[in-house]
Amino acid sequence: MAVKIGNINLGEFPLLLAPMEDVSDPPFRFVCKQNGADMMYTEFISSEGLIRDAAKSLQKLDIFEYERPIGIQIFGSNIETMREATEIASKANPDLIDINYGCPVKNVACRGAGASLLQDIDKMVEMTKAVVESTHLPVTVKTRLGWDDHTKNVYEVAERLQDVGIKALTIHGRTRAQMYKGEADWTLIREIKRNPRIAIPIFGNGDVDSIKKAANWRLEYEVDGIMIGRAAIGYPWIFREIKHFFKTGEHLPSPTIAERVEACSTHLKKSVEWKGEKTGVFEMRRHYSNYFKGIPNFKEYRIRLVTLENIVDIESVLQEISEKFETVLIDF
């Protein structure tokens, strides 16, 4: 049965690309979409930044037709500010608005935003209601199990947020206290999915980094779809590999060196198109090691890639990598 968020049809078991700060920008989203991501989100955007026209926040509103369906994710600690930010974000014409109640990092959570709202569910509900009432678009939420092991309150959160109108909920299987450490625990996600009161799609997030996990957890935890984050960095093929396995029960071969070079080159070109050569080249530097993880004796090439300053020279090194390592098999 197809999963729907409002009128958005995501197919039978969608794979979502998680919003990741300084990662899930349009160039990165392009290569993930090429490889089968069903739904994507912008990097999270500060509501305060949107309202005061901060350039970095406004740039994050950039979305492109080929990315659809796509959600703009916002966060903040002030209800009125979130209401205004929702109106601004809606004008950028995404397919939905997503609220971040999951970010655990200090400069977000300690300012009363992100996962911090898990300590004040009444305020979270009020804020969500304000966002829902401020847009014609479907509103979704991403959150965690709770603030810490003693306050795993996401079961209540799911019911109350559904009651004020959210259309889907993504749950990361860790508490805020865990940050990204330890193993994600999806058992509470399954309990929420089994709650007869819950009618909206429930997506699981956290630690899905292989076909095996995606297939096993789909069955074990009964979620409507899976959101993938860190495992897609440098490996956008994870979406197509999981989908192929779901469809056929077979494993696709790992991407060749030529495919890695092609994806990396596409990512670079899109980065330069979007941000200009200087910034596009600079911001691409964080991705090279990920695209070529597992290649023996790669350090020399990585050093060259992160020091070159123009796209022609970088493309030349990428071509060199393709030729030198074409027979190398990588078990990613």
- Which CATH number belongs to the domain containing residue 206 in this structure? 3.20.20.70
Q: Are 14 and 40 in contact (CB under 8 A)?
A: no
pLDDT of residue 54: 84
Which tens digits make up the pLDDT trace of 265-313?
999 999 999 999 999 999 999 999 999 998 888 899 999 999 999 999 9
Question: Is the confidence at residue 208, as pLDDT, over 90?
Answer: yes
Please indicate, yes or no, whether residues 143 and 263 belong to a single structural domain of this protein: no
Check whether residue 196 and residue 305 sit in a common domain. Answer: no
319 and 173 share one domain: no
- Summarised one tens digit per residue, pLDDT across range 50-71 is 999 888 889 999 999 999 999 9
Where residue 291 sits, what CATH number does that domain have?
Answer: 1.10.1200.80
173 and 227 inside one domain? yes
Together in a domain, 192 and 289: no
- The verdict on residue 332 lying in a domain is no
Average pLDDT of the segment spanning 191-199: 97
Domain total in the chain? 2
Q: Across residues 204-225, what is the average pLDDT?
A: 96
Q: Are residues 240 and 302 in the same domain?
A: no
Whether residue 282 is found in the same domain as residue 176: no
Q: Which among 71, 75, 74 has a CA at the least distance from the CA of 95?
A: 71
Instruction: Give me the pLDDT at residue 232, please.
Output: 97
288 in the same domain as 190: no
Residue 329 belongs to a domain: no
Catalytic annotation on 110? no
Domain boundary among 187, 214, 248: 248
The predicted model scores a pTM of 0.94
Looking at the fold, whether 157 and 296 belong to one and the same domain comes out as no
Q: Which pLDDT score is estimated for 332?
A: 47
Alpha helix segments (H runs only) across 117-210: 121-133, 154-163, 187-194
Q: Is residue 330, in this structure, part of any structural domain at all?
A: no
Task: Give residue 169's domain range.
Answer: 4-248
Q: pLDDT-based confidence at 102, cuts 50/70/90?
A: confident
Name every residue whose Cβ is closer than 8 Å to that of residue 189 and which is 6 or more positions away in sequence: 171, 173, 202, 204, 221, 223
Question: What are the tokens at 207?
Answer: 């630690």
Q: What is the pLDDT of residues 125-135, one digit of tens each?
A: 999 999 999 99
